[in-house]
Structures are given as C-alpha cells and as structure tokens.
Amino acid sequence: MLYGDFNNWFAAFAFWVFKYYGYENLKLINRGRRKWLDEDRIISNGTVVIPKGKFDLAESFKPDAKIRVYLSDIKDSLVSRRRFQIRLVDVRSPPEYTGQITSPPEYPTEHAHRAGPLPEALNIPCTQVLNDDGTFKSAELSDIYQSRGILPSIEVITYCRIEERSSH
C-alpha cells in the first residue's frame, strides 16, 4: 500500500515504477496521507520492524515496455505520421506549461531544465483529475480527456517535470 503528500504525487510515481517492473499487488490510498489524517485514523511514530527478505529485481521482474516512453519515441512521434496518432499531455500547472515558472510552488528549488511545453502538447493539469478533497475523479475523467481530443483509440504520453504528477 502506497501513500504520500501533495495528493500522492510521489506515491503515484512509486506505484508506476512498481508497475513498470511487473509488480501487480499494489494499492494507492485515494487522497493519500491527508485523507488518512482527516479521517482521524490511527497513526504511529514507532519504527516498523520488517524481516529481511530476498528481492532480486533482475531475476523476478522484467520491465513493461508498453508503459514507458523514451526521448527517441517523442522525437519520432513529432516527425513521423505517428504524430497524428499520439497526444502529448503536459500535466503541470498552467504557469509551468506556459513557461512563467519552471517549478511547482511546492518545490521552488527543483526547476525544470527548460521552461514551457513540448511541441503540440496539450495542458491538462493533474489537479483536473482530482476532486476538491484530493480524491481521484472517476466518471468525469473521460469527459475531461475527450473534450480535449483524447480518445481511447489514441496513444497518450503524459509528462511533467520529473514524472511525479504524470504518474497520476
């Protein structure tokens, strides 16, 4: 079970990494640590002792190439006929997308290398997939994406600054 702050930005990234390496038994707490605290659930500051185990990534898991994109894939999509079959979605905030700022306000010292979006990228901020309380939207998601031309038949590549928000 994974959870974190900032609406699970980094927990969602950890979820993606585990999925990439083939781990299937994963859960992400909807809304993360904030929801847990708001619901007055039990917390502890004690140390959890977990028995040592054997985890051999190379032996146990193979990367799932279907859920990862490399820079060469992006470049190829922008110069080939594939560009019409792919939608790039920049999930950063509008000020990051337009290049007004290079980092989210929560991390002012962790800047992107360059300001602004990739060519032809749509801006659909990751906050649009969340309800006001920070939980994930469900049925409304297809309306949000379809209104921007993102259909189930089209390959979608999401990105942000370091992939913590695009993992949502």
Active site residue ranges: 160
Judge contact between 122 and 87, C-beta under 8 A.
yes
Q: Which residue in the block uniquely carries the two structure tokens 């594939």?
A: 82
Provide CB contacts within 8 A for 151, sequence distance 6+.
Answer: 145
Helix and strand element counts for the chain (H, E): 6, 3
Structure tokens at 36: 């847990």
Among candidates 16, 6, 1, which has minimal Cα distance to 168? 16
Cα torsion 85, 88, 94, 98 to 10°: value is -100
Structure tokens at 112: 């992107």
